[in-house]
Amino acid sequence: METSIIRKNTSLSEEIIEVLNQQIAVEAHSSAAYLGMSAWCHLKGYIHAGEFFRHQSEEETVHKMKLFDYILDMGAHALAPEVHQVNNNFDDLRAVLDTYLDMEIGITNRFNKIAKQCFELGDFQTFSFVQWFLDEQKEEEDTARRTIEIYELIGIELDGLFQIDKAIGKLIPQA
């Protein structure tokens, strides 16, 4: 008889494994997208915004690994993601910030759907696991909205963009 590696049993349904693996890919995409924003900001002289998006990119990698580890810990197969269609060019800083907020709102919506699916399937373990992401999204959306408020409040007259860049840099959490 052919030997095979020991396969752990998992209580996760195929449906939930699939949706969590899809979310790994979404987090990987966010991480790459924020890296693209970081590079664009640096290139245009917005060094503080560049650092801010670099930090955001690293956070998304943490999220990706959290999902990856959960799937593995539950005895299922976590899939290494492919990342497609990352934007490296933007019209201006405002376009970067608008994209950032749209992406975060999109991710919140995805986690709400995952939570709903878990609830309907009676997977309360994963339902509890995704609560961390829902809390995190509240903060993430708030920060993304704040960058746009800063942009609007300071305005781009005179040295506005210089001040906006500095103010966005101050949103990086201090360790």
136 contributes a contact to ligand OFO by CB under 6 A = yes
- Rank residues 54 and 63 by Cβ distance to ligand OFO and give the closer one: 63
147 contributes a contact to ligand OFO by CB under 6 A = no
Q: How far is the CB of 104 from ligand OFO (least distance, A)?
A: 5
51 contributes a contact to ligand OFO by CB under 6 A = no
Question: SS3 letters for 20-78?
Answer: HHHHHHHHHHHHHHHHHHHHHHHHCCCHHHHHHHHHHHHHHHHHHHHHHHHHHHCCCCC
165 contributes a contact to ligand OFO by CB under 6 A = no
Q: Give the separation between CA 168 and CA 159, rounded to whole angstroms.
A: 15
Sign of the dihedral defined by the CA atoms of residues 23, 63, 43, 172, in that order? positive
35 contributes a contact to ligand OFO by CB under 6 A = no
29 contributes a contact to ligand OFO by CB under 6 A = no
Q: How far is the CB of 75 from ligand OFO (least distance, A)?
A: 24
Instruction: Spell out the residues 6+ positions from residue 173 whose beta carbon is closer than 8 angstroms to its own.
Output: 55
The number of residues that bind ligand OFO (CB under 6 A) is 10
Query: Where along the sequence are the contacts to ligand OFO (CB under 6 A)?
Result: 27, 30, 59-60, 63, 104, 107, 136-137, 140
